[in-house]
Amino acid sequence: MEVATTYPAVSAQTDATIPLYERFPALRRLPRVSLCALPSPVEPLNGMGGPAELWIKRDDLNAPGCAGNKVRALEFLLGGVRRGDTVLTVGGAGSTHILSTATHAARIGATMVALRWAHDMNPVADLIAGRIAEMVPGARVARSSLLTIARARLRHATSDVRYIPLGGSTPLGILGHVNAALELAAQIESGEMPVPQSIVLPLGSGGTVAGMALGLAIAGSSIEVIGARVGPRLFVNRTRVLGLARRTARLIRKITGEAMPVVDPRGVRVVHHVFGGAYGRPLATADRAAAMLEAYSGIRLDSTYSAKAFAAALDETKTARGPILFWLTFDARCLTS
């Protein structure tokens, strides 16, 4: 069944000027569909945290209706998908990746198939799961993540579908996050915000952190990237992030023929104290931090990802010697649009 949506349709690949294309014109040959409204703004959060300055990158505003970090990757992952095609992806019962993929695949006119698995839930995750059930009838929830991924791979191998792996964290999708880092570098250069000491964002499947680290290396920046771990350490760790960054660098080098910088492992840090003990499990300190931000700005966070990253960002402001940038990856409008 085709997913219903009220968001603007998209017609075809676009060659709109984005920092990634300005730096690597040869990447224009990759299929890409324009889903975002970029750049997303940067804003100060005056008086929050301290004593270091705290800023926010508003990726909750980077696309119509259902924004967030995942839509950046989907510009490349859905490139070449046409009306009537089938898109298949996987994730947890309350996966923002699945919700974003369903939303934006519908803008193209594609049919969506989602395979999900059970995990610890929280109020926002419950709302997301409900939205997925509305948009993708038949998106059942299984018990095992490994068996669900195996079923998805088998379906991909035996049928004509566009398969988007967990979180969209593939080199192709990570190009969208490389572009995000170059976008931020341009905003800093134009004086929209000071150079931050660190960028803090959630670390789940790893693609956003990997793309950020690689993009900053390409920009010649020494800004530290801090991933707030939200999943089990066995699968969510710096080794995976650095591996994804290397694979993405190889993709760019293959297409462009240009030498690529190596991401310095010292510039990528993973913080573990905001992990709630299981993916999706809320953390009281993170929920308190989210309540502070909502009272201050009206911005709503989710307990699975962004609230934990914001709690980590607040912690960083206590000891940092320069500004801290919290990268908001969640768009609460997805829950009501």
- Measure the CA–CA gap between 249 and 243, rounded to whole angstroms: 10
What is the average per-residue pLDDT within 298-315?
97
Q: If pLDDT is split at 50, 70 and 90, which confidence band does 337 have?
A: low
- Asked if residue 152 lies in contact with residue 163, where contact means CB atoms within 8 angstroms, the answer is yes
Range from 15-24, 138-147, 245-254 that averages highest in pLDDT? 245-254
Mean pLDDT, the chain, whole residue set = 94
pLDDT of residue 167: 96
Residue whose C-alpha is closest to residue 249's, from 213, 206, 221: 213
CA 72 to chain centre: 7
CATH code of the region 19-71+169-335:
3.40.50.1100
Q: Go through the chain and tell me how many residues it has.
A: 337
Neighbours of 12 (CB within 10 A): 12
Q: Helix, strand, coil proportions of the chain in percent (round to 5)? A: 45, 15, 40
Q: If pLDDT is split at 50, 70 and 90, which confidence band does 4 have?
A: very low
CA torsion sign for 256, 207, 327, 66 is positive
- Measure the CA–CA gap between 17 and 19, rounded to whole angstroms: 7
Residue 191 DSSP one-character state: T
CA 122 to chain centre: 19
The domain 80-168 is placed in CATH, from the list 1.10.10.10, 3.40.50.980, 3.40.50.1100, 1.25.40.10, at 3.40.50.1100
What is the average per-residue pLDDT within 309-337?
95
Does 50 have pLDDT greater than 70? yes
Per-residue exposure over 269-308, b if at least 16 CB sit within 10 Å of its own CB, e if not: ebbeebbbeebbbbbebbbebbebbeeeeebbbbbbbbbb
Starting at the edge strand that comes first in sequence, how are the strands of the sheet with 162-164 ordered? 141-142, 111-117, 86-92, 162-164
Q: If pLDDT is split at 50, 70 and 90, which confidence band does 1 have?
A: very low
What is the average per-residue pLDDT within 76-84?
97
| CATH 3.40.50.1100 segments of the chain | 19-71+169-335, 80-168
Residue 288 DSSP one-character state: H
Residue whose C-alpha is closest to residue 75's, from 48, 101, 111: 101
pLDDT of residue 11: 44
What is the average per-residue pLDDT within 297-312?
97
First-residue to last-residue Cα distance in the chain: 20
pLDDT of residue 16: 53
